[in-house]
Amino acid sequence: MPHVTLVCGGVLAIVMTLLGMNVTRVRTQFKQFVDPAAPPRKLYVAIRAHGNFVEWVPLLVVMLLVVELAGASKTPLWVAGIGLLVGRVLHALGLLTKLRVAPVGSAFTWGIALWLGVWAVWLGLS
């Protein structure tokens, strides 16, 4: 059973849902229910925080699963899964608040993506 992917993927799905709910909340606040040509900044940022999450997380959860199913060691899998979660949450917080952590979140995500990609290739070739 791929426990690491189940736990990390489940938590990431919850975060994604919260980001999507935030988009709906802000759309309601501004009464903009279809994509406007020039959305208010707060709506644009909410859409991008959710969109950036969705652009990265699905593939990386699949990569986490593939590496886990290939028999990878659990400790580095947990590090990768938690690192992905931390990276995506930092990125979203950096966009949605005054905290300047979005670049840190991006760097975490890029690092985890590279790590999982190289790890998958290495496992596939060994």
**Phi, psi of 2, deg, nearest 5:** -80, 75
pLDDT at 19: 99
pLDDT at 5: 98
In order, the DSSP letters of 31-68 are T--S--SS--HHHHHHHHHHHHHHHHHHHHHHHHHHHH
- Give the amino acid at 47: I
Pick the CATH number of 3-125 from 2.40.50.140, 1.20.120.550, 2.102.10.10, 1.20.1370.20: 1.20.120.550
Lowest mean pLDDT among 7-11, 34-38, 88-92, 104-108: 34-38
Query: Does position 91 have pLDDT exceeding 80, yes or no?
Result: yes
Cβ distance 78 to 2 under 8 Å? no
Across residues 31-49, what is the average pLDDT? 88
Query: What's the pTM value of the predicted model, to 2 decimals?
Result: 0.93
Query: Does position 36 have pLDDT exceeding 90, yes or no?
Result: no
pLDDT at 48: 97
The pair of structure tokens assigned to 16 is: 């994604």
Across residues 57-76, what is the average pLDDT? 98
